[in-house]
């Protein structure tokens, strides 16, 4: 899995809060000194309060190291994060930030097909700038409910016909066949957006070369109805602690109960913060962030993933 270029723990000042589109605000954070480098696709954790950490993709220019920008959609089902950002967070306030971490790195490619749904445009925006700088052939298909709910439409206008904006109330659902209908071996496909879009793109790309598709999820993948928890034993190899993981309790919670400190953020298998490595045993991966290749290398998210074997040894 791609690790952060440099992981920060910073206090930054919210310099500007701007309404970009219906229910979308952009937050521009100013650093006291030059920020370390980061790459397109990276996200940061905003530490909005005790037990209130939320991940947002960076959408500023990685080459401008004075600021970090994120855009936040007001989620109707907000668990506190987006509601706090929209209603409480004020310009001039200081905020703790952790990251950047990159689970969605832009691979080198002569051609890119970007697909964004709604607020999923944020990591794609950085990637487009990078693809443009690299002189790659790229195209973006960008959908949203209505034009006035879609952030960065004006900024994207500069790219002319490389960008196709498709508000659903004007043109219906995204025309994926037009961009993914014929598999190509010279194209990296990047998609970020709601689960229904990611599922559709994954289906369309099933006949594309392995590794062509790169997705980033905001919410955990749904587990099948037949997925059940069973009890197993975990050994935290570095700490020399062995414990039982009961059904319904995560490995991460068992680690914490046993006095281990493991960094966590989403606790949903989405952000990659709690990543560790399986040393022995057969893992049952339930995260929504690791690639097949990451899993083959032993990467593991103990906030959600469990064991198929009776015993798992982790590098914790």
Q: Which is nearer to ligand FES, 46 or 188 (CB)?
A: 46
Tokens of 110: 């002569």
Confirm if 119 and 142 have CB atoms less than 8 A apart. Answer: no
**CA gap 262, 255 in Å, rounded:** 8
**Dihedral sign computed on CA atoms, order 259, 260, 265, 268:** negative
Max CA pair span of the chain: 60
Q: How far is the CB of 17 from ligand FES (least distance, A)?
A: 26
Q: How far is the CB of 5 from ligand FES (least distance, A)?
A: 19
Q: How far is the CB of 54 from ligand FES (least distance, A)?
A: 11
Tokens of 92: 């001039």
Confirm if 145 and 169 have CB atoms less than 8 A apart. Answer: yes
CA dihedral in degrees (307, 312, 313, 316; nearest 10)?
40
Q: How far is the CB of 156 from ligand FES (least distance, A)?
A: 30
Beta bridge partners of 16: 28
Binding residues for ligand FES, rule: CB under 6 A, are 264-267, 269-274, 287, 301, 303
Q: How far is the CB of 172 from ligand FES (least distance, A)?
A: 34
Q: Which is nearer to ligand FES, 150 or 299 (CB)?
A: 299
Q: Which is nearer to ligand FES, 130 or 287 (CB)?
A: 287
CA angle, 186 then 104 then 237, to 5°: 125
Q: Which is nearer to ligand FES, 60 or 273 (CB)?
A: 273
Q: How far is the CB of 191 from ligand FES (least distance, A)?
A: 20
Q: Which is nearer to ligand FES, 269 or 281 (CB)?
A: 269
Q: Which is nearer to ligand FES, 213 or 274 (CB)?
A: 274
Give residues with Cβ within 8 angstroms of 50, minimum separation 6.
none
């Amino acid at each position: 899995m791609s690790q952060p270029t440099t992981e920060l723990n910073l206090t930054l000042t919210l310099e500007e809060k701007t309404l970009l589109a219906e229910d979308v605000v952009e937050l521009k954070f100013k650093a006291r000194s030059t920020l370390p480098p980061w790459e397109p696709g990276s996200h940061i954790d905003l530490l909005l309060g005790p037990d209130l950490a939320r991940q947002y993709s960076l959408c500023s220019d990685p080459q401008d190291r004075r600021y970090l920008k994120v855009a936040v959609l007001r989620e109707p089902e907000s668990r506190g994060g987006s509601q706090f950002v929209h209603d409480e967070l004020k310009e001039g306030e200081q905020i703790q930030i952790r990251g950047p971490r990159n689970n969605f790195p832009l691979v080198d490619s002569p051609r890119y097909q970007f697909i964004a749904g709604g607020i999923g445009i944020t990591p794609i925006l950085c990637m487009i700038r990078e693809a443009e700088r690299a002189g790659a052939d790229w195209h973006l298909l960008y959908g949203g409910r209505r034009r006035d709910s879609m952030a960065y439409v004006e900024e994207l206008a500069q790219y002319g016909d490389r960008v196709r904006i498709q508000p659903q109330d004007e043109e219906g659902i995204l025309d994926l066949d037009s961009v993914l209908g014929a598999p190509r071996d010279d194209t990296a496909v990047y998609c970020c957006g709601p689960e229904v879009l990611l599922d559709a793109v994954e289906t369309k790309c099933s006949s594309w070369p392995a590794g062509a598709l790169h997705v980033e999820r905001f919410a955990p993948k749904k587990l099948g109805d037949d997925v059940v928890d069973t009890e197993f034993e975990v050994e935290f190899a570095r700490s020399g602690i062995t414990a039982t993981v009961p059904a319904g309790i995560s490995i991460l919670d068992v680690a914490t109960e046993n006095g281990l400190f493991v960094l966590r953020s989403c606790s949903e298998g989405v952000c990659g913060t709690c990543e560790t490595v399986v040393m022995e045993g057969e893992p049952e991966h339930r995260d929504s962030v690791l690639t097949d290749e990451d899993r083959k290398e032993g990467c593991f998210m103990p906030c959600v993933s469990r064991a198929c074997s009776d015993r798992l040894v982790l590098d914790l």
